[in-house]
């Protein structure tokens, strides 16, 4: 299967695939379908991706993980499953894929404008659950009220108080965002789309310690088994003994991918 190990780690149905122009999206075979997994797989994936990851998070992590697996001789274990890959294999950097650098943050697009300006004054708080992206429709409903509609799950609509002095509002927190905004020169009926893309709360260098503290022995046993046979023996030794991130985390990721592939 093309992009075999990446698709295994992604582990979502093809019906849930992102748009072709979604950042980080890669080819997933139409033949792929997720299968039931040991309990330890869910625990490890919850640490690696968050317990409620959206497609942005899955793509972001995989854009970190896959180049990491290709930076050492561990690449042979990736290509052994299928040598056909469509992603660029050698672009991993410690802080994440560079093509994400300019898109994290808040994007505000005016949909109806007669002079009001909506501005973000704080940065998004990093995501702890793996949901990186949220989208909102914001409209000035009256001189004292904003109408806010959340367009990503969980969907919601609410009214937010608007207090204006000398043409500039007080700081406004859109529900669920923890991002503060202001409105200048508010005009009833003016509206905007607001898209927020958060960073994950932890990055690659922190993941091994988070796994060590949170995964538990049984989860790691589900992944490595007794580790008496190859390649799991090699994977476990790398995880337990290496201090080099590409080997330590690489051993765990390969063990996870190979274990998940067994159930198929």
Model pLDDT, residue 91: 57
- Regarding whether 184 and 227 lie in a shared domain, the answer is no
Q: Which of 172, 197, 222 is the last residue of a domain?
A: 197
Model pLDDT, residue 213: 95
- Regarding whether 127 and 77 lie in a shared domain, the answer is no
- Regarding whether 165 and 38 lie in a shared domain, the answer is no
- Regarding whether 139 and 119 lie in a shared domain, the answer is yes
Residue pair 209/141 in contact (Cβ under 8 Å)? The answer is no
- Regarding whether 47 and 164 lie in a shared domain, the answer is no
Q: Which of 141, 174, 197 is the last residue of a domain?
A: 197
* Count of the separate structural domains present in the chain: 2
Model pLDDT, residue 15: 62
Which burial class, exposed, middle or buried, applies to 121 when counting CB atoms under 10 A from its CB (0-12, 13-18, 19+)? exposed
- Regarding whether 93 and 214 lie in a shared domain, the answer is yes
Q: Which of 197, 220, 250 is the last residue of a domain?
A: 197
- Regarding whether 192 and 70 lie in a shared domain, the answer is no
Model pLDDT, residue 33: 87
- Regarding whether 111 and 93 lie in a shared domain, the answer is no
**Number of alpha helices (DSSP H) and beta strands (DSSP E) in the chain:** 8, 10
pLDDT digits (tens, 9 = 90+) for 59-113: 999 999 999 999 999 999 999 999 999 988 875 444 455 667 778 999 999 999 9
CA–CA separation, 168 and 250 (whole Å): 51
- Regarding whether 23 and 84 lie in a shared domain, the answer is yes
- Regarding whether 155 and 73 lie in a shared domain, the answer is no
Mean pLDDT value across residues 187-214: 95
- Regarding whether 113 and 63 lie in a shared domain, the answer is no
pTM of the model: 0.91
- Whether 39 has a pLDDT exceeding 50, the answer reads yes
Residues of the domain holding 61: 4-99+202-262
pLDDT digits (tens, 9 = 90+) for 231-252: 999 999 999 999 999 999 999 9
């Amino acid at each position: 299967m093309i992009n075999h190990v990446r698709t295994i780690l992604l582990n979502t149905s093809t019906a849930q695939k992102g748009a072709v122009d979604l950042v980080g999206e890669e080819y997933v075979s139409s033949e792929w379908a997720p299968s039931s997994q040991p309990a330890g797989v869910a625990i490890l994936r919850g640490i690696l991706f968050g317990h409620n990851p959206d497609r942005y998070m899955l793509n972001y992590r995989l854009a970190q993980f896959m180049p990491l697996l290709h930076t050492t001789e561990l690449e042979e274990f990736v290509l052994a499953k299928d040598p056909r890959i469509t992603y660029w294999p050698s672009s991993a950097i410690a802080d994440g894929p560079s093509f994400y650098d300019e898109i994290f943050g808040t994007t505000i697009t005016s949909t109806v404008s007669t002079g009001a300006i909506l501005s973000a004054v704080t940065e998004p708080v990093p995501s702890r659950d793996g949901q990186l992206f949220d989208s909102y429709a914001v409209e000035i409903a009256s001189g004292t009220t904003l109408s806010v509609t959340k367009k990503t799950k969980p969907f919601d609509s609410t009214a937010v108080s608007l207090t204006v002095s000398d043409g500039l509002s007080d700081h406004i927190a859109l529900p669920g965002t923890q991002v503060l905004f202001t409105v200048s020169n508010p005009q009833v009926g003016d509206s905007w789309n607001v898209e927020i893309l958060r960073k994950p709360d932890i990055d690659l260098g922190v993941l091994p310690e988070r796994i060590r503290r949170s995964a538990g022995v049984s989860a790691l046993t589900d992944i490595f088994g007794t580790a008496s046979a190859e390649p799991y023996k090699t994977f476990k030794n790398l995880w337990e003994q290496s201090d080099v991130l590409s080997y330590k985390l690489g051993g765990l990721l390969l063990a996870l991918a190979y274990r998940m592939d067994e159930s198929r």
